[in-house]
Amino acid sequence: MTGPERYRHCQNAVVADASHPLRGVCIDGSRLAEFRPLFREHFRFVCVTLRRLGVREGDVEDVAQEVFVVVHRKLDSYDPADPARLWLFAICLRTASAYRRLARHRRQVQQDPEREVADSDPLADDLIAREQSRRLVLTALDSIELERRAVFVMHDLEEFSANQISETLSVPVNTVYSRLRRAREEFRKAIQRLRAAGDSR
């Protein structure tokens, strides 16, 4: 099952039934009207964000469900006047950080399927190139420490402002810019290193 197919499977499973358990937490009827549109609109964002924060592709579905358990639990604290993606990103960051601390992303003995670009169905050249670029970016992101990676993802990939990032992460704006500068440099060097390694094969 490909990444997008897994995401759709998880999304369909949770949204299809109001009583579907999210890690043992049921969506009660009184909150379903609030939860369902939030889930449908931002599920893909949560999955992409988790992957960018270092959650392995094979674990994204499970960790995304953990995120939405927290979302469901904290619905009362969410202010709809605030950008939903900022609120969700903060939850994703905490969840991804816990995931990394638990080392559930241990290296597998077998070949990492994320490094394989082609599968049993041949892709058109442009799709192969797009997938290679996506994995190059993810691999480069994996070389950046999480607190700097979070700022880089929020600013350069999600286009949140420095002030928004500062509020969400509870750090001074100057710290945001400092982390962003370091992350950009680390990302640039990682891309160069990965491309050089690819050219030498």
Residue with tokens 């950008």: 83
pLDDT at residue 19, as a whole number: 42
* Residues 191, 84: Cα–Cα separation, whole Å: 31
Backbone angles phi, psi at 111, to 5 degrees: -60, 135
User: 3-state class of 109 per DSSP?
Assistant: coil
Side-chain-side CA neighbours of 112 within 13 Å: the count stands at 11
Helix (H) or strand (E) run with residue 22 in it: strand 21-22
pLDDT at residue 77, as a whole number: 85
Tell me the pLDDT of the chain (201 aa) as tens digits.
554 555 455 555 454 444 444 544 555 555 677 788 889 999 999 999 999 999 988 899 999 999 999 998 888 888 888 889 999 999 999 999 999 887 544 544 334 544 444 444 555 666 777 788 888 999 999 999 999 999 999 999 999 999 999 999 999 999 999 999 999 999 999 999 998 887 666
For the whole prediction, is pTM greater than 0.85? no
pLDDT at residue 6, as a whole number: 52
